[in-house]
Structure 1
């Protein structure tokens, strides 16, 4: 305990020092204003909504690994966040169509601090469950930072925040928790086979533990493998994971992802008369996948799996799951997104309706529900425009930090938002002074107005398009000798090892006496970086560039591309000679 308190004290001291250091630089901090993100995907233009329809994905952009629960008419859904802060985004809905962003579950940096974590570590694959026996919500997740491991947090009301993380004594990943009718609790998760019993690469198992509800811990010695390998071990299935346990009509159902998060991803289901098995796979597996269809199909949705079920309006079951929407080069820049489908559970096993044919962008609304997405504070989907002049008292939750809280480097200004520059730059595995917005469309523009006068070549402020620390574009204003330059640089990480290679692609002298507009614009795989000195007419810098380094399949990892307002006093980008 003393050691933990010392670590927390050191963390708090480090953050305080960083904040003080940033405050010293506040006088030279850039001011960003009038941010406009506009989505322009052709699929939504070609498929306008009718009165009784809504779009899926329901959460566009980097919102993977959804899990969902229900209390009465309230639905709560969580997703993976990796090294983004706050951790584990959470949304609320009354009808599974209109969602409100509640921020992040893990929002206390003293308790969850991914400051030295690779962008695809942090926390991932959460589970969320409401326990009616004690009127409590549980969020359980694997945390790859600060030595946390598998943790659980609780609350009576997700809208009012969550308790402190409770460390659980088991390994593996992708945990979820289930409460039976008798009040007993069980934790299921992905793990490696017992030592010496791994049969092939990708061989995994699903384990179960009894859960001590009174003391919030797994009960030692109760662990049991309930699925070995997957549906058919003889076929060497890979990456059985993301387990969720349900009870219906006296029987127990275990639903898992199988095939890995990629082109062979799927969802499978097992049944048992006991929560501890044996679990028998359904003869109709998989119950959701997109792996069998033509690679060049129109409006392709792929990688479907990692699902969770909930009984929705009118007692109709629904399933939320992840999938991707590749661009014309089959690259995944928007990352893994949260989709939804109705589920037919009229027979013995649940089946995702139309989940075994190419997925469509629209669904029929649940009866009695109105589509208010993008209105009245509900999260938007489809094509939409998000504008922010930072005049609101509260910063919108869709603005996020990386490896640390956004509050450590932002300060409200009279005409916008100050970004207090850290000495770290975008290539370092440390908190950066960057305010991020997810890329939520294949075709979009992201435009902001920058007021900034750098003092030296170490100073830079502008925008970034980022997949990870070694796969990004930087577009910003810096100084060289007595002149000011707008520079466009590309950071790449060959084979994701060794040093990151920085290349200045283009630069131009600019006058910093007046604000400058910066814009990132994409049409599928084609990205452009534009600027305007007069606030109206845009000029391109660097030509048309490939978005390959912003795609998951090229850059690696589990996140999607993010667009950021960036400042640093540790710049190493130089203008072209």
Structure 2
């Protein structure tokens, strides 16, 4: 890969002199982060939770030989459904995105927490399968690939499979079954009353066959009116079929339960000591809490051990977190024929003895780290995403420069704006870049953004307003704020032709700092200690995490 220094990149910016007046050019993009939990040190032979930090929810894992593959939800961000590879369940490298072509799906103008929910990956007879739901954009579909890196097939829609969270199970005899969350068999008796269904699937014809059947109505203890049985998976061990599913919603009441049967189609009996994973009911004032654990998937390793990937969150306040739902790992202990991830009442550990498997050398996804993007091109890193699905190529990546066309589409309009971003993966995170942009008309802007959704975001960058150019901090903290955001602070700035402006956002839990400068390492703080809890899921709602990246908008384009 060609490495481009910041000085050379700025020189290239100057020589190009903004080939188009509506183009913003970015270079020197650096992300770094750390967490209070870094104080919990890992001993030799241990790994750190979460294993994949930041907005990586609903993890599904499968093993093929000595290799593990992981997929996560991305909702209305694109490219979607990241595919990670590992050999030890601890070190993960993103090798692709299962949804990487604009024509595969249409996210329309959906909210960022709609679209693709809870993918489930499996492998059978030389083919990888991902079952997924496009909420409000088509329903349940299946995609396949011979190589998990891709390309993945166009979606095969499954209209007979309703609801969400479908997964595919192949039995020893070759028969395949789809299990999913859907409406209960009769009228819903309360909010959150759902059921888990099963139906046979014909992989050759790529369609469901035979009748549907309910495996679990309400939950493992219907007398308690359990809510949202979801994320179901079936696994088979020692002649038993195990139905593993989440219960309790995806917030602090989240949990994982298990049932078993001698037949794939049931009847299933629940484990007497359910749940097999939860953090509900623990003291709220415990140090460095991990909460909302559930949505687990269980996999066996080549050495005969069993492990579970699952989602959980790390709040910095009372259920406030900006990093989204993350991917964790714990061993599974089999007790009297039942899989247990964590005995009830125990806290999820930040460190644990690692699987005794060959490690994969991969970029860090856990613990403190720093990433400097070179923008060598021709594409962005696989972990970068944009809002919804682009219908045209409005960006370029070349020679250390990421160029964005400043288009009329903007954040706040549920549109497809000129935004490329990467996940905030730490409570304490810093992102900085250099932008070259000459706003021509009032409303033109380009800079850094921290985005939770269209109604909740922060921006720092160059803006044209009233015939003058300013460096400005703007925020939107709800639908009552203007779509273009509220001005928090600004300062007039005068840049020479070809001169870039340095920008920085620093997150410290629920606080945000915004800074700018024109000389390397010299920063002028424009806003300090801003209320960043507006980017928390508790305030902004939804299922995604904060994305940090670059943005350009052209008011008259």
Give the alignment's TM-score, normalised by structure 1. 0.89
TM-superposed CA distance for 1:49, in Å, is: 2.5
Q: Are 2:13 and 1:28 equivalent residues in the alignment?
A: no
Q: Which residue of 2 aligns with 1:555?
A: 540
Which of the numbers 385, 395, 400 marks the counterpart of 1:410?
A: 395
TM-superposed CA distance for 1:50, in Å, is: 2.3
TM-superposed CA distance for 1:43, in Å, is: 1.3
How many matched pairs? 537
Which of the numbers 144, 154, 159 marks the counterpart of 1:164?
A: 154
Q: Distance in 2 between matches of 1:138 and 1:57?
A: 25
TM-superposed CA distance for 1:250, in Å, is: 0.7
TM-superposed CA distance for 1:535, in Å, is: 2.3
Contact 1:425 1:570 in 2 (8 A): no
Q: 1:297 to 1:139 in 2, by over 3 A?
A: same
Contact 1:95 1:313 in 2 (8 A): no
Q: Are 2:272 and 1:283 equivalent residues in the alignment?
A: yes
TM-superposed CA distance for 1:235, in Å, is: 1.1
Q: Distance in 1 between matches of 2:178 and 2:149?
A: 24
Q: Distance in 2 between matches of 1:498 and 1:454?
A: 24
Q: Are 2:550 and 1:565 equivalent residues in the alignment?
A: yes
Q: Distance in 1 between matches of 2:118 and 2:516?
A: 39
Q: Which residue of 2 aligns with 1:143?
A: 134
Q: Distance in 1 between matches of 2:179 and 2:22?
A: 51
Which ranges of structure 1 fall in alignment gaps of 5 or more residues?
A: 1-23, 573-577
Q: Are 2:174 and 1:183 equivalent residues in the alignment?
A: yes
Matches within 5 A, 1:347-386: 347-353=336-342, 356-370=345-359, 376-386=361-371
Deviations 1:422-453 (A, max 9, x none): 21111111111111111100001111111111
Q: Which residue of 2 aligns with 1:204?
A: 194
Matches within 5 A, 1:50-449: 50-131=43-124, 134-145=125-136, 147-169=137-159, 170-195=161-186, 197-219=187-209, 221-353=210-342, 356-370=345-359, 376-405=361-390, 408-449=393-434
TM-superposed CA distance for 1:408, in Å, is: 2.4
TM-superposed CA distance for 1:27, in Å, is: 4.1
TM-superposed CA distance for 1:414, in Å, is: 4.3
Q: Distance in 2 between matches of 1:230 and 1:153?
A: 29
TM-superposed CA distance for 1:234, in Å, is: 1.1
SS in 2 for 1:223: strand
Contact 1:419 1:566 in 2 (8 A): yes
Q: 1:43 to 1:72 in 2, by over 3 A?
A: same
Q: Distance in 2 between matches of 1:192 and 1:541?
A: 51
Contact 2:471 2:492 in 1 (8 A): yes
Q: Distance in 2 between matches of 1:313 and 1:531?
A: 51
Q: 1:566 to 1:343 in 2, by over 3 A?
A: same
Contact 2:142 2:157 in 1 (8 A): yes
Q: Distance in 2 between matches of 1:174 and 1:231?
A: 18
Q: Distance in 2 between matches of 1:111 and 1:355?
A: 42
Q: Distance in 1 between matches of 2:400 and 2:467?
A: 27
Contact 1:57 1:337 in 2 (8 A): yes
Matches within 5 A, 1:528-539: 528-539=513-524
Q: Distance in 1 between matches of 2:523 and 2:132?
A: 45
Q: 1:28 to 1:54 in 2, by over 3 A?
A: same
Q: Distance in 1 between matches of 2:467 and 2:537?
A: 40
The structure whose residues are more often helix, as a share, is 1
TM-superposed CA distance for 1:369, in Å, is: 3.6
Q: Distance in 1 between matches of 2:258 and 2:345?
A: 14
Q: Distance in 2 between matches of 1:65 and 1:157?
A: 22
Q: Are 2:28 and 1:43 equivalent residues in the alignment?
A: no
SS in 2 for 1:171: coil
Q: Distance in 1 between matches of 2:503 and 2:28?
A: 11
Q: 1:467 to 1:355 in 2, by over 3 A?
A: farther
Q: Are 2:502 and 1:517 equivalent residues in the alignment?
A: yes
Q: Distance in 2 between matches of 1:500 and 1:28?
A: 21
Deviations 1:300-348 (A, max 9, x none): 1000000000002421100000000001354121000010101112531
TM-superposed CA distance for 1:565, in Å, is: 0.4
Contact 1:265 1:304 in 2 (8 A): yes
Q: Which residue of 2 aligns with 1:21?
A: none
SS in 2 for 1:283: coil
TM-superposed CA distance for 1:548, in Å, is: 1.4
Q: Which residue of 2 aligns with 1:467?
A: 452
Deviations 1:330-375 (A, max 9, x none): 41210000101011125310001467411121121212444x6xxx
Q: 1:499 to 1:174 in 2, by over 3 A?
A: farther
SS in 1 for 2:129: strand
Which of the numbers 514, 523, 526 marks the counterpart of 1:541?
A: 526
The structure whose residues are more often strand, as a share, is 2
Which ranges of structure 2 fall in alignment gaps of 5 or more residues?
A: 1-17
Q: Distance in 2 between matches of 1:330 and 1:224?
A: 37
Root mean square deviation, CA, Å: 2.0
SS in 2 for 1:350: strand
Q: Distance in 1 between matches of 2:502 and 2:539?
A: 30
Deviations 1:152-197 (A, max 9, x none): 01112212321111000221100001010000010000011134x2
Deviations 1:98-133 (A, max 9, x none): 2110231011111212142210011011111111xx
TM-superposed CA distance for 1:389, in Å, is: 2.4
